[in-house]
Every structure is written in structure tokens, then in C-alpha cells.
Amino acid sequence: MNELRVGVLGVGHLGYHHARIYAAMEQVQLVGVADPSHERRAVAATDFEVPVFENAASLLALGLDAVSVVTPTTTHEEVVLQCLEAGAHVMVEKPIAATVEAAERMVAAAQVHGRLMQVGHIERFNGAVLALEHALEHPRFIECHRLSPFPGRGSDVSVVLDLMIHDLDIVLSLTQSEVTSIDAVGVPVFSASEDIANVRLRFESGCVVNLTSSRVSLEKLRKIRIFEGNAYVSTDYSAQEVLVYRKKPGPIPDGANPMEHISIEPLHVEKDEPLKLELKAFLECVRTGHKPLVSGEEGLRALRLARRIEEAMHQHADTHA
């Protein structure tokens, strides 16, 4: 198996971990990293002992098989197009782009250049989410909560693009259906855009989804609850745990407590670092040519829905101003 030559564009908080994981992989050479920040370049040079560059062009000139793009969302289109034109496969962090139009151009460019593009919706590689694959049949109601303290980064976009988009991507993969209605409200607290958002979606399949995201919470919470006709599945992203609640077979005896006739079954979860699994899957696709689990098209689909939700929030705000 040939060694893959990879690079990382942007070595801030998350990009640093991309570089860390690549540097530890077998049959992978971390050729270098690029970042406009002198301080970040210095840390990367010391920790990974690789060449560091101020811009993408200098790194891409070394000839890379694959690149992680972990730059601000507003720069994704420009940087990804540079990578594709240089012949590199691309792993771009979520959201895929700042606008739907930019994302469409990125997807089209990947097709023109014959290169893979994977989008960093990391929760798809969370062991708890992977365990859901064979546990669900026909979701009827889904409830998502994603709460965290103010991060001090990522606030250049709304909480919908920053946090909720993770759950939107998962919901779209679970329902495999089109959205028919959106009811949304959002509130800015510390940012120019919304820091708290609540959304109710209805799908053609009949499934109803309620999502709440906040980046001004005093606690961290990342959970998804899925209700079907005969089961309730509770998933904790942080703990990587899945519990399935089912009504026990047979009638409930007269006078019995119905709650005692519910079985609780934990699903087996393969626990590992989601980012490591995500990058490993990306490079496996580079080697085999298989379609990524979260392709550019799926990243675009999640972005389209996120933007529709933002529009609904703004319409709600204008109506109640």
C-alpha cells in the first residue's frame, strides 16, 4: 500500500487535532501544514516536526494526495478550489461553505477534477450514532438537544451553522425524506447572529423533528431521542451510549404498573475518537475511490436546510418585531 501524502490547512483548535491524528497514522505522511498565524505555525512545527507555511499555495506546491481544510467557513470555497485544482482530495470541515451557491460550486469542482470531497460532520462517526444504523426502522418523532457554553470561536456564523447543523445532517440521514414545513425561532445573545435556536421540522415521511441548539448554556448536552411505534431510543453523543426502551411483549396484567413492563437494552457501542475514525474513513475512500459517508452532496444538503431554517428564524423575528 502506497504511503499517502497529506497536509492540513488551518491549525487552530480543530486543525491541530487533524494534524495530530495524521502524524500518528501508519502509511500516511504529514507533509506539512499551513496557517496565517505565526504562533500556530510555531506550535505545529515543534509538535509535528513538519514544514509550515503561511498560505495554502506553498503547501500544495509540495504535491499532496489529500488535504484537510480547517479554515474559517467564509474561506472554504476559495481554499477547497485551490486544493482540487492542485489535484488533492479534500476533507473540509463543516459547514461545507458559507453559502449554498459556494457549496454548489465546490461540489461541481470536485466532480470536474475527479477528486473526493468529504465534509466534516463528525457526529456521523460517533460510536453512538454508528450503533443506531441497525436499531431504527421508521422514526416518527426525533428530539435533538445540543447545548454548550459560549466557545469564543465559530461565532462568525449562527448557532444553526455552528452547532445545529450536526443534528440536521444526522436527522436527514435517519429520515431519508424531504422537509415539508419549518417553524423556527432564534435569539442572538453575545453574537451578531443567533446564539440560541429552536426548530420544528415536518418531513414527507410524517416524521416530526424538534431541535434545540444553544452556545450560551451553562452546561454541555448532546443528545438525540428517537421515537418509533414500538421503541424509544435515547442517544448520548458525549458518553457514546445508546439505550433502547421497548414495551415487553404480551398484555399488561390488571393493576400492574405499566412502567414495569418496559425493557431497557443498551446497544453495543464501539468507542473511539470520532475525529480519528472520520479521518481514517476519508483516507480509506481516497485509497479505494469509494464515496465518503458524508459526501460533498450530503454536506450541501445539510447546508441548504440550515439556510432555510435561518430564513425562517428571520421571518419569525420580522413578524414579531
Q: What does pTM read for this prediction?
A: 0.92
Beta bridge partners of 210: 143, 200
What residues contact residue 116 under an 8 Å CB cut-off, 6+ apart?
89, 90, 110, 282, 285, 286, 289, 291, 292
Going from the N-terminus, what domains does the chain have, and what CATH number goes with each?
A: 4-115 (3.40.50.720), 124-272+305-319 (3.30.360.10)
Buried b (16+ CB within 10 A) or exposed e, 177-196: eebeebebebeeeebebbbb
Residue type, 258: P
Answer whether 252's CB lies under 8 Å from 241's CB: no
Give residues with Cβ within 8 angstroms of 213, minimum separation 6.
144, 145, 146, 147, 159, 160, 163, 164, 167, 196, 197
Measured CA to CA, the distance from residue 147 to residue 219 in angstroms comes to 7
Q: What is the spatial distance between Cα 318 and Cα 190, in angstroms, rounded to a whole number?
A: 20
| 201, containing H or E segment | strand 196-203
Walk along the chain (321 residues) and give the pLDDT tens digit of each residue. 589 999 999 999 999 999 999 999 999 999 999 999 999 999 999 999 999 999 999 999 999 999 999 999 999 999 999 999 999 999 999 999 999 999 999 999 999 999 999 999 999 999 999 998 778 889 999 999 999 998 766 567 899 999 999 999 999 999 999 999 999 999 999 988 999 999 999 999 999 999 999 999 999 999 999 999 888 999 999 999 999 998 888 888 888 888 888 899 999 999 999 999 999 999 999 999 999 999 999 999 999 999 999 999 999 877 876
